Structure 1
């Protein structure tokens, strides 16, 4: 890591490379750079922008082209989009608890998600100069980290107006941990598609198969669920190919520690909801066994970005459970349970969030998170 990861703001996922955002430390709509989650497959590289180039090549372009860092700043129009990035493994620890087994992969709580304003060049503007062939079908950015992380996408997604080569984040030059000098931002897709430290883009006339869409970041069918003890890690059976993950499912987040402790009386409970490429249409909540009620959604609603929601709660002393479920604009709602998959991806069940209401007025406040977070 290059940036500090203090425990009062960030959650150590246990790998030495990956840190989540504490859900109770989200002050505004955008996630501050210092609190934005970090997901790395290898240590953060330190790249010299004066020596860096971005090369576009492959049998799906008519000519190979290369761009310098200055080229991107000076030769192309800049655009800014507000987009949410979420790791497909977010809430993996909760999926472990849900199915009573252990999954390989980063042990995320709820914090592998964040929203930023990304500023850069539309990828389609860079591809235009290379000249896409009529049979070009896939575009694959590749990173300059040690493992050369890469993830293909269809040409249509690469040409979307909000697929960027980002140079800045929240109004600042892109930080090293988040992809400096340039990264890809693929709106609404899993975070692994938004390749950091991008140095090469392959355009192909065939399906591209790499570890990041065959062995990892795929959903292995439920029929392979293991009959094993809870302390035995689930492993993928690749006798049949998994389904590559693209857009992430609808899910919600409560901006409280797990468990939380609040004072009695009036409280405002807040959170976020995200539906990948879709819009959030509604958010509902229930306290204990009460009825489902509509939460208030913030005015900013945009595909590819989370929304803020809130509700007022006259809390009575004792132990309670808050449940929240979000629904997207296609009517898809968070389920009670997430189907098992061998790699522990895409947990989006309705969560039973424990909250203790203290007896005395003013004795509340947020307490430290337990092992689920």
Structure 2
């Protein structure tokens, strides 16, 4: 197993993606989202180390741990053909998405990947329910956590509570948008953990450990935790562990946007983690809120598309957008500080300049 020299395998074009400056992390341009699902060529990439090159002939997913009665290893062909296959459409989002906007809101800067709005994408994922794999090893009744471990050089790993591991829509995916899983997105197999932060959906999966005790690793103690006032530490962690994501929205325009005057259709996306999007409202320049039209089905774990008509007048404007979910959570006006700049959920305030002539 080696690593690519460039950090990622797929071509990265500024016409489609935003470079976050690490050489590993690239966001999807919101103005280059052509449909409900994100094409692979512009699906965001978040990695802790260069994309590994894995020889599938020698690869196997090893399943064990003190709560696994009969440890097993599952090869690639077996994973793709022996177990029932399912397909789900789900959105993945990094917990640090909009970190730059979060810093601008609070007048500060945060360490970590400098994401704008693009660390979010959606795909159809095909593979095996994690619970079907775990059934083969005989999971103990008192099992607590399942740790997923990556084969990348960083050894990325994150535990799931047993209930989330056994959920209908937690899968080990081997295909993405109807094609074999691409290298940058986890080939030969990855987790897809619906509605949770992207870091839970471990790529380049190599091992699953089923445990009778809670598992703590750097990815749920030092990183991907909320540190600061109001965030109580969980076990040995520095703060509260991030799991399900909150409500957020974006407009499918550049930042800032430049438009011609006259009738426009403003389109965007909203996401609500494990919940579904129930409503999206907008207003222009601090005016009254109006309901946008949601143009896609309400599906938990998958973003919704929305739009509204606007007669754009020349000048500088701010379009504000807020979404609400199926549990009555609404985007707040402001997001409270946390040390690592995670979980920015504030009402979107998108700057737009309308020219004086068509």
TM-score (norm 1): 0.92
Return the offset for 1:60.
1.0
> 2:203 and 2:236 mapped to 1: Cα distance?
31
Structure 1 equivalent of residue 5 of structure 2: none
Aligned positions of 1:1-373 closer than 5 A: 1-222=8-229, 241-361=238-358
Q: Secondary structure at the match of 1:261?
A: strand
Distance 1:299 1:155, change over 3 A: same
Does structure 1 retain, via aligned residues, the 8 Å contact 2:216–2:236? no
> 2:315 and 2:236 mapped to 1: Cα distance?
50
> 1:288 and 1:73 mapped to 2: Cα distance?
52
Structure 2 equivalent of residue 367 of structure 1: none
Return the offset for 1:239.
9.1
Q: Deviations over 1:51-92 (max 9, x none)?
A: 000000000110101100000111011100000000000000
Aligned residues: 349
Runs of 5+ unmatched residues, structure 1:
225-235, 362-373
Which 4+ residue blocks in structure 1 deviate beyond 4 angstroms? Answer: none
Structure 1 equivalent of residue 3 of structure 2: none
After superposing the two structures, state which structure 1 stretch, 239-248 or 53-62, moved more. Answer: 239-248
> 1:123 and 1:190 mapped to 2: Cα distance?
17
Q: Deviations over 1:74-123 (max 9, x none)?
A: 10111000000000000000111111111111000000000000000111
> 1:258 and 1:27 mapped to 2: Cα distance?
17
| Higher RCO (C-alpha 8 Å, min separation 6) | 1
Return the offset for 1:241.
3.0
Q: Deviations over 1:231-259 (max 9, x none)?
A: xxxxx9x9973101001110001111111
Runs of 5+ unmatched residues, structure 2:
1-7
Structure 2 equivalent of residue 231 of structure 1: none
Distance 1:186 1:6, change over 3 A: same
Distance 1:70 1:13, change over 3 A: same
Structure 2 equivalent of residue 232 of structure 1: none
Return the offset for 1:223.
6.2
Q: Secondary structure at the match of 1:71?
A: helix
Does structure 1 retain, via aligned residues, the 8 Å contact 2:221–2:236? no
TM-score (norm 2): 0.96
Q: Deviations over 1:106-163 (max 9, x none)?
A: 0000000000000001110000000010110101110000011011011111111110
Q: Deviations over 1:328-368 (max 9, x none)?
A: 1111100010000000000010122110111112xxxxxxx
Q: Secondary structure at the match of 2:319?
A: strand
> 2:120 and 2:13 mapped to 1: Cα distance?
17
Q: Secondary structure at the match of 1:96?
A: helix
